[in-house]
Amino acid sequence: MTHVATLISNPARPALDDAVIAAARTVLPGAGEPRWLDPGIAADILFTPGGADDKGVTERLRSALRDFPLDAVVQPLASRRKRLLVADMDSTMIGQECIDELADYAGLKAHVAAITERAMRGEIEFEPALRERVALLKGLPLAVVDEVIGKRITLSPGARTLIATMRRNGALTCLVSGGFTLFTGRVAAMVGFDQHRGNTLIVENDKLAGRVAEPILGREAKLATLIELRERLGIPAQDTLAAGDGANDLAMLEAAGLGVAYRAKPKVAEAAHARIDHGDLTALLYLQGYSRAEFVEPVS
């Protein structure tokens, strides 16, 4: 068998049982017996697609499971475990958009959040939208960053387990963000990433100057980071994994061996090879064939 379909539910709300798997097997050509990765939460079904393409099989599978709170991802078995992960930060590795939280201290959260949402949906260009939002932060004390990180930023469920497990198994992990290094450095350390990349907010007299250093790290820079790290490791594209939720993540998602739209905006979820709408970030481990028993729990 050459392909695998992975079915995943949210670990907090297990929804996978034998009946669901049986329904899935009816639309998978030459389906084999399921392999439980985590009972009630995740399972693999090997199959041979014949003349069917991955997209067509995925659409049939999702249609068969549309009444269940499950994610379904179809991919080749070859090179399933990845050696490089490049992941977005805001609304992916953390549950917030950092710039929106900063804007709240300036009394402008609703206004800034609306711009952020349009940029992440791909309705407006990312770079000018970022400059516009940063300008609105002018005069905020630098100490606000510490307060936002301490009181408002929460790690996405499964984030630390994902990174700990991949690193233990020899993968390089990089946090890459259209946000700011003032946050990526701290978040990368909290989650356990090897590296981080982001934009630099200009600070003057311990206050935000309302400007961001050029060039801005956006869609093309995220893609460039994936390619740079891949080439540095000397690995093929198929051995890479990327995850993100916004329009500026699409280029790296499309270039990765497996690009995962995680709780993503509609256009991003539609375009990406894989989408996770229900599972937490441990779903990215199940997609690589890791069982729950193989997860590495980070040291607190």
Start-to-end C-alpha separation, the chain: 40
Q: Which residues of 159-186 are buried (b: 16+ CB within 10 A; e: fewer)?
A: bbbbbbbbbeeebbbbbbbbbbbbbbeb
User: At which residue do the structure tokens 């993540």 appear?
Assistant: 249
Catalytic residues: 88, 90
Q: Provide the pairing of β-strand 195-199 with 258-262.
A: unpaired
Residue 295 near residue 282, CB atoms below 8 Å: yes
3-state class of 102 per DSSP? helix
DSSP 50-101: TT--HHHHHHHHHHHTTTSS-EEEEEESTT-S-SEEEE-IIIIIBSS-HHHH
